[in-house]
Amino acid sequence: MKQRKIKFELFILMFVFMAIMGCSKSTSSDNVVSPPAEKEITALEVANLMGNGINLGNTMEAYGHVSLGVDAETSAYETLWGQPVTTKEMLTAMKEAGFDSVRIPVAWTNAIDYESGNYTIKKAYMDRVEEIVNYALDADMYVVINEHWDGGWWGMFGSATSETREKAMELYVSMWTQIAERFQDYSDKLIFESGNEELGSRLNDVDVSKDSGALTEDESYETTNKINQTFVDTIRGSGGNNSERFLLIAGYNTNIMATLDDRFQMPKDSIANRLLISVHYYDPWSYAGSEDLASWGSESEYKAQNDVLAKMTKFTDQGFGVIIGEYGALPAKDGTIKENTVDYTKNILDNSDLYGYVPMLWDTSSFFVRQDLKINDEGLAKLFKDRSLSAQSSLSDEEIKENARKSLELGIAKGKEYDTSYVGPTLNGDEKAVAWIMYNSNDSNVSYSAGDTYDPSSKTDGVVASDVEINGAGTYTISLDFTGTTEGFANSVLFSAIGITNGELLFPGYIVTIKDVTINGDPYKMTGVPYTTTDDKKTTRVNLHNPWVGSIPVEARLPEGDLSSASATVLDNQTLGEVETISVTFEYGPAK
């Protein structure tokens, strides 16, 4: 008999047996029974059983600590960000729509007066989280609960004051001790997640701790590892089923590439094969994160998605289950599904099927409309239904993987067809070098080919780019015009760089010397000296504004060789303002 079918039918038989024995009543007490069969499965196997997932977004993590205090009605927090009060029917309908697991992000400090040193979670808030957890468990879903953004208290870990850093850990440990105690007898279908995107560089956030920012990148990695280890130790040291519960470890920034960095280390555990790793996927942000009209589907975009998701096998090869805790393409401003959303989503699900990951759609009633109790797009509705555990229960694991491989190949072919509609500079293997300006606006609503893979189709609608082919040493000008976008401008800058694709291969050692930067037609004085470097040993890069660079790389190239004044942020995003146009003129040639 086929492996996945065996597992699925085993669980069906188990629950039928429990029903016959009078153990499967439709009450929350069901969820404190830990089915014996679950004790035999590993983190990789539980990822298989979690199937296709969804987030209950903008709900229990809606942050009202500052505006509502800690004693408001729980529903006031729950509905603060525009979502309805969660009902049992909503979770049941999610299950029927094809979702076998749900992630419930939680802002626990909504109900903690931590500023006064009182770390007790208000009972009503804990009760409400438990009630929603039971809705999901009663619907036969796996459930993940975490500690989400939560107003940015995480920045206390990056405080310049040791006392504040110690208080941050005290709060974290107290919080998880209480959560672990409340849910200690719940079955393995309830999974705890150590954090969210804040475990990483956002430990330096200044939302709460104004003197934060003290951690270097290395120290941020070290602190992230320490927090994750403390999470595991805290849960394992509590009572009941927590000694064996599956635990989900938040990756560094939950960013795939940052989590793959060897500085990120999975925590040690007292029990084998019970840890999973969580990362998020919103690439390219110009498509997934922007509300402006945007398109996706070029061959390079398919390949980029496939390549980065395949890298997470570093963790599955070590026995850690992989959960894509958030992914999705944000709808357009008018609420409609953007072009190619089904293709984008399907390719993520195909990769997940191939490698055994758990994809968990980020949703705030954008796709599954909670008031209507259904998916609002027919294509997505069919896709999610077809990927449910029950829909695939008749297939073996290898059949599922083979179907995924074929579908991924079809995606690449579809991307090649998509590329024929693009008119502009093109590449032919390694024969051409093209220079362009990578750009992401500060609100992420406007972008152009941000990343070392040159993809002029990866842009916000209305952006006009003047990219140039590089034929050797000389002077070149490249530019972007944002006046044709919905807003008519880019809101300052979140990230920008000059890229020369194939530059390192065709012109090794060449240096870019910026001669002139023009913003909105006026000369712009840079705030530092830009340098030439490469991240992938293929594309030459000059950072214009890259705040994620912790230190100037030793291999950076400058005409004079003196790196003391080199900067990765020569555009000042605090004063840049509205950017309608930007152009850069530079000299390109070998080091002198």
pLDDT digit string, tens, across residues 396-430: 999 999 999 999 999 999 998 876 654 444 444 44
Residue 251 shares a structural domain with residue 111: yes
pLDDT the model gives residue 421: 53
Quick check: is 502 in a domain? Answer: yes
Residue 387 shares a structural domain with residue 477: no
**CA pair distance 325, 255, nearest whole angstrom:** 11
Residue 315 shares a structural domain with residue 464: no
**CA pair distance 111, 122, nearest whole angstrom:** 5
Residues 6+ away with beta carbon under 8 Å from 10 = 37
pLDDT the model gives residue 563: 74
Residue 309 shares a structural domain with residue 447: no
Instruction: Give the mean model confidence (pLDDT) for residues 435-448.
Output: 90
pLDDT the model gives residue 420: 63
Residue 438 shares a structural domain with residue 410: no
Residue 519 shares a structural domain with residue 371: no
Quick check: is 246 in a domain? Answer: yes
Residue 135 shares a structural domain with residue 59: yes
Q: Per-residue pLDDT tens for 121-166?
A: 999 999 999 999 999 999 999 999 999 999 999 999 999 999 999 9
Last residue of a domain, one of 414, 443, 475: 414
Residue 464 shares a structural domain with residue 382: no
- Answer with the residue of higher pLDDT: 560 or 535: 535
Residue 441 shares a structural domain with residue 573: yes
Quick check: is 422 in a domain? Answer: no
Quick check: is 192 in a domain? Answer: yes
Residue 275 shares a structural domain with residue 405: yes
Mean residue pLDDT across the chain: 90
What region, left, alpha or beta, does residue 449 occupy, with left being phi > 0 and alpha being psi -120 to 50 degrees? left
Q: Per-residue pLDDT tens for 189-230?
A: 999 999 999 999 999 999 999 999 999 989 999 999 999 999
pLDDT the model gives residue 547: 85
Quick check: is 520 in a domain? Answer: yes
pLDDT the model gives residue 286: 76
- Cβ distance 354 to 408 under 8 Å? yes
Cα angle for residues 80, 81, 82 (degrees, 5° grid): 95
pLDDT the model gives residue 561: 67
CATH code, domain with 318: 3.20.20.80
Give residue 335's domain range.
42-414
pLDDT the model gives residue 332: 84
Catalytic residues: 197, 326
**CA pair distance 260, 312, nearest whole angstrom:** 8
DSSP 524: -
Quick check: is 480 in a domain? Answer: yes
Q: How far is CA 215 from the centre of its chain?
A: 22
Residue 79 shares a structural domain with residue 205: yes
Last residue of a domain, one of 414, 444, 465: 414
Which string of DSSP letters, residue by residue, matches 440-493?
E-TTSSSEE--SSS--TTSBBTT-EEE-EEE-SSEEEEEEEE-TTSSSSSEES-
**CA pair distance 416, 298, nearest whole angstrom:** 7
Quick check: is 17 in a domain? Answer: no
Domain count, the chain: 2
pLDDT the model gives residue 27: 39
**CA pair distance 325, 278, nearest whole angstrom:** 6
Q: Per-residue pLDDT tens for 357-378?
A: 999 999 999 999 999 999 999 9
Residue 460 shares a structural domain with residue 404: no
Last residue of a domain, one of 358, 385, 414: 414
pLDDT the model gives residue 554: 76
pLDDT the model gives residue 306: 96
Quick check: is 252 in a domain? Answer: yes
> How many helices and strands, by DSSP H and E, does the chain display?
16, 23
